Amino acid sequence: MIIKNMTVYILELCYMIRRCTDVCREANRTIILLSGVKIDICREEERNCMIATSLTLTNSNLQFRACGLFAINNSLLYSICGAVSSYLFVTLQLDLQSSRKIQKIDI
């Protein structure tokens, strides 16, 4: 039951990170698409709006953040995997050391 729940949570986390990364990539690519739009020179208001929007998008970079602490992107997934594997290795080393001490006491 625990493994099933962990698998579901991990898959949900991977799905959420994938969707957030895709949305950020598309939003940050909007400036490229916007710069390719042809506007008639006579329409000054539309041209000024397009220039202002493109400048605003150039200076902003969309990121989803969790309570302002960390960005939700692929690096979060790698950080979680690194932390879990480090914790696992430390736990295995401590378990091996404790089993060796028990063996020495038994001898």
Of 97 and 91, the one with more pLDDT: 91
Of 28 and 107, the one with more pLDDT: 28
Mean per-residue pLDDT over the chain, rounded: 84
Of 20 and 101, the one with more pLDDT: 20
Q: Can you tell me the distance from the alpha carbon of 93 to that of 41, in angstroms, rounded to the nearest whole number?
A: 70
Q: Can you tell me the distance from the alpha carbon of 97 to that of 91, in angstroms, rounded to the nearest whole number?
A: 10
Ranges of beta strands (E only) in the chain are: 65-66, 70-71
| Res 60: pLDDT | 78
Hey, is 73 helix, strand or coil? Answer: coil
| Res 107: pLDDT | 58
pTM value is 0.65
Of 11 and 30, the one with more pLDDT: 11
Please compute, for residue 43, the number of CA atoms within 13 A of its CA located in the half-sphere on the CB side. 8
Other C-beta atoms lying within 10 Å of the C-beta of residue 78: 10
Q: Which residues make beta-bridge pairs with 33?
A: none
pLDDT tens sequence across 33-63: 777 777 777 888 888 888 888 888 777 788 8
Q: Can you tell me the distance from the alpha carbon of 11 to that of 51, in angstroms, rounded to the nearest whole number?
A: 41
